[in-house]
Structure 1
Amino acid sequence: MGVISDGNSYGVPDDLLYSFPVVIKNKTWKFVEGLPINDFSREKMDLTAKELTEEKETAFEFLSSA
């Protein structure tokens, strides 16, 4: 589920809307902790986080110049 990345245990920088494994109970969600991540997955996750960070920065630059 796409959620704000603050407080995750997957090494994704804070303040990104990122897709994480979560569980939902009583209308509250929480990260699924402790899933193993192999090297291939880590590389793809890091690349995705980098792209999202760049997109966020571009959007903020656009908004600040408008």
Structure 2
Amino acid sequence: MFNRKDERWTTGWTRRAPSCCADLRDLQAKLSDYVHWYNNFRIHSTLGYMSPVEFRKAGLILSKPSK
């Protein structure tokens, strides 16, 4: 489910997409590459500076913030 932050990102992306992609297939390939990079290589401070895949493979879970 999208939140407002997601909506801002997708709105910005749809404005830039026509200039960065030759056609729909090119856009799909670039998005797929980005999602693969984001999940497998980009480190996240929230996940202890691991990628989401590394975090999942380590069997870790996020703790809920205390109130």
* TM-score of the aligned structures, taking structure 2 as reference length: 0.33
Identify, as 1 or 2, the structure richer in strand.
Answer: 1
* Structure of higher CA gyration radius: 2
Identify, as 1 or 2, the structure richer in helix.
Answer: 2
